[in-house]
A and B are shown apart, each in its own frame.
Chain A
Amino acid sequence: MTEVFRDKVDVSLTVNGEPVEARVPAGQHMIDFLRMELGLTGAHASCEHGVCGACTIRVDGDAVRGCLMLAAQADGTDVWTVEGLTDAAAVSDLQDAFITRNALQCGFCTPGMLVAAEELLSKGGVPSRGEIREHLSGNYCRCTGYEAIVDAVESVALNRAGKGVA
């Protein structure tokens, strides 16, 4: 391997608020780095080509597909997974709404779904059901049929806007 085509890359990033330094294989996907190297198994690998959204994580504030990003690209980024968002209580109202509304069944899509939903909610305002459905269309769920997820996200939007039924 020449210097130009190194097969290992040094990265320095922040994951869930903690500094991480690692030497990663050049071809390693971000989702595999998080799951296999850091033990953060909350986000899941499923379709492995950016369609299903089960691997969705937050990178520099955006919802990103962990299977379409290389770990080598993460140098200097600020990464959040469901574990960190939980510890920071950043999505606790959304998690509570998912439980109350049974907006998850097998739970495999849920960590990615939460990150995607939070991206929409963080824009503020109360999105319509159609807008919620549109925003979540990059996140597949094979169990629920989506309606309960839309209900849960809508209820959080209303509550955050002070319009919820307590």
Chain B
Amino acid sequence: MTIPFNNPDRPNSYIGRTVPRPNATKLVQGRGRYVDDIVLPRMLHVAFSRSPVAHAKIGAIDLDEAKAVKGVVRIFTGADLAEVCTPWVAVLAHLKGLKSPPEHPLAVDRACWVGEPVVAVVANTRAAAEEAASLVVVDYEELPAVTDTMTALDKDTPVIHPELGDNLAFRRLHEEGDVDAAFKTAHKVVSAHFRTARHTGVTLEPRSILVDWNPAEGQMTAYHATQAPHMMQTVFAKHLDIPESRVRVICGDVGGSYGIKVHVYPDEVATAAIAKVMGRPVKFIADRLESFSTDIHARDHEIEAKIAVDVDGKILAIDVDDWTGIGPYSVYPRTSAIEGNQVVNLCGGPYDFANYRAQTTVVFQNKTPTCQYRAVGHPIAVAITEGLVDMAAAAIGMDPVEIRRRNMYADDAYPVTSPAKMKFEGLSHHASMDKLIEMIDYDALRADQAEARKQGKYRGIGIASFIELTNPSPFMYGIGGARISAQDGCTVRMDPDGSVVALSGVTEQGQGTEAMLSQVVAEGVGVKPSNVRVITGDTQVTPYGGGTWASRGAGIGGEAALQAARALRDSILEVAAAMLQAEAGKLDIRDGQIVDLESGEERMPLEELGRIVYFRGDTLPKDLPRELVQTRHFITMDYPFAFTNGVQASYLEVDTDTGVVTLLKHWCVEDCGRVINPQLVDEQIRGGIVQGLGGALYEEIHYDEDGQLLNGSMADYLVPMAAEMPDMVVAHVETPTKESELGAKGAGEAGTAGAPAAVMNAINDALRPLGAQVAAMPFTPERILRALGKIND
């Protein structure tokens, strides 16, 4: 039986509706349980002495003063932990040529970035651990630091890891068609140099872990703020020599993640190793400076790119040369080559064109390691593509909306394979653009812009179409050898009182995963969402799964939940049919009642069925199956990724005297397939947009030429605040994926993917009459005044 999603009056029609989040009430009451809220008996705290320099040989370590601090229990060096924890190497087989040296939980011979953990101090209070860590004396023999990406491969640049031969971590060149010929004969060629700044996620809850080793049971329990509990289970087991079955990772409430909490961090593995050595619970909560210097960074790219168009604005070719510096290590186990690889995969994404060349060059440097952060590679690729398209439109005197309409894949063209060799099952670029243009009242907005200009105000409209990669198959990590699950599972059971429990391998970090699961299961079984208890984030309890990243929670986890729920419904109806002497096919479950399918007449409440099955099973036929628990797993098979699409618009004003940009309004039309919970999807889009706006206007990690981090605090690294952010209008086109019954694709990263490009294009639209153009993010007042020629020094 398939669900008639298009009929909103169908019974149990919770999929497609805004239903309340089951976990919201506890959070507004301050009753959440984040890792730092957990206190265990005999718990110790660990603090780290970290490298104050970007690159140094580690000499003598003097622990005398640190040991004398009251409350200190034990101190570990890199050599100590190397005896109990094997190092890791973050490479994947399908990223050909990717190399990275072995990385330890604490640096052993060399420190390679400011903030790398070197010594771990364990004490009975956090304050004592911090005080003692500050008294650890390490003899750092400074080595030359590599900090500039573009010169990292030069002959006279020192090689960070001599055993690797050079500073090149990864390079990939993709070429399709005859790019050089297309550029030679084109009507117009436009080129630009783009820059996206080094960002970090700034989760309000810092990275947090509390690890308990019970030697009597040979079991490790890690309370961990993570997006991927099963992946971490594997990592702890492998590197600490524990059977995987004896590692339990529990992930309760998580205070924001955005990709930051899906990676393996040396200090967190060190915490687990120390807990195992000491046989006591050990807690590590990063402080804010540690967050800035050791949470993964991202988006530090520099790109030379060009586009060729014909006289009608048709795109003939795109050529992209992308460079990024990833720090001294590729980050385990997802690797730091994925972001550059995504830039190659995603540039030109919305457009039907033939000739494409893109190369990414990923180099080592002595800065904090970079890795996957919300919308991995997308904001970069969309900025390159949409920036070039707008510049080409301006060069041939064409409206930016018109040039996009002439180049976007037709809505009936699917399935298609892009010049980057990405396979698109079904997208809606034109329908989305039409909806956006209507929503923003494009002509009226242009009129307002013209009117403002008469008054000396420089307003701009920026459009950015985009694609987003969601629902990844094993093509993302599994084929490269990583034990990162692309499938996900859900167990759904009915208890004696007729209530339903759903255990899922996907996790909740605020997106609303548990609300999504509750409504999918409610509809699938035929009960109210409030009668579904959702349990996530416990590797000993839930089915095996990948967790929540790459916008996979609803599309993969939701489908597994739906299939499990439908299977439970069938099991319930089989029992009901026997009890009621009816045909299962002529019964249905609605609002927790067994009813006649046709008439809707109530026949029996689920709690009565539960009473019979669990307490009077003797009254049922002996051979009647009565398994009121079902598990299903789901994996995508037909496409490596479920691409979504959308288009954003930004309207803003540039103060040409101060360089300050004021965001007036922002719009997004997005197609994530089936919308399960409209409010949650819209809020994912809004939150994502604002993270993108932060990258466009404020966020930039600064280092000096010696590799010193210059702005490691929230006062110095600016993120969006309420006063500067615009109201956002969000709408949808729905093109469900046919890979699943649910038809849902991901929505978590679309906002972040498109927002920076929309802002860049709007600023350039505002500045074009003045002959100025910006392409280096963030667009600070200084950069805008420089573009205007008002600052020249």
Contact = CB atoms under 8 A, between A and B. Distances in A.
B725 A98 contact: no
B21 interface: yes
A49 B204 contact: no
B27 interface: yes
B253 interface: yes
Contacts of A82: 28-30
Nearest to A153: B722
A25 B201 CA distance: 33
Contacts of A100: 20
B225 to A, nearest CB: 10
A47 interface: yes
A105 B512 contact: yes
Q: Which of B21, B36, B256, B691 has the most CB of A within 10 A?
A: B256
Given A105-B511, A137-B723, A46 B204 contact: yes
Interface string B287-300: 11000000000000
Nearest to A138: B721
A147 B686 contact: yes
Interface stretch (B353-361, B439-447, B490-498, B712-720): B712-720
A52 B714 contact: yes
Contact of B687 (A54, A111, A133, A143): A143
Interface string A37-65: 00011111111110110100000000000
Interface string B250-294: 000111111000000000000000000000000000011000000
B714 A47 contact: yes
A140 B719 contact: yes
Given A46-B206, A142-B691, A146-B722, A108 B34 contact: yes
Contacts, number: 172
A107 B687 contact: no
A102 interface: yes
Contacts of B691: 142, 145
Interface string A101-115: 010111111110010
Contacts of B255: 44, 46, 106-108
* Residue among A28, A106, A150 facing the most chain B CB atoms (10 A cut-off): A106
Contact of A99 (B20, B31, B715, B722): B20
Contacts of B680: 102
Contact of B28 (A47, A51, A98): A98
Given A25-B127, A134-B723, A149-B722, A48 B256 contact: no
B689 interface: yes
A10 interface: no
Contact of A106 (B29, B510, B728): B510
Nearest to B751: A145
A144 interface: yes
Interface string B661-692: 00000000000000000011001001111110
B500 to A, nearest CB: 22
Interface in B236-260: 253-258
B509 interface: yes
Interface residues of B, number: 55
A104 B728 contact: no
B25 interface: yes
Contacts of A108: 32, 34, 203-205, 255-256
Contacts of B722: 132-134, 136-137, 139, 141, 146, 149-150
B530 to A, nearest CB: 13
B751 to A, nearest CB: 8
Top 9 nearest A-B pairs by Cβ distance? A42-B30, A107-B27, A108-B255, A106-B510, A105-B510, A145-B690, A82-B30, A41-B37, A51-B714
Interface of B: 20-21, 23-25, 27-34, 36-37, 127, 201-206, 253-258, 287-288, 509-512, 679-680, 683, 686-691, 713-715, 719-723, 725, 727-728, 751
Interface of A: 25, 27-28, 35, 40-49, 51-52, 54, 81-83, 86, 95, 98-100, 102, 104-111, 114, 129-130, 132-134, 136-137, 139-150
12 contacts: A35-B36, A41-B33, A44-B36, A95-B29, A104-B24, A107-B27, A107-B28, A111-B30, A140-B202, A143-B510, A145-B690, A146-B720
Given A27-B127, A41-B30, A145-B725, 18 more contacts: A41-B34, A42-B29, A42-B30, A49-B715, A99-B24, A106-B509, A107-B24, A108-B32, A108-B203, A132-B722, A136-B723, A137-B722, A142-B204, A142-B256, A145-B687, A145-B689, A145-B691, A150-B722
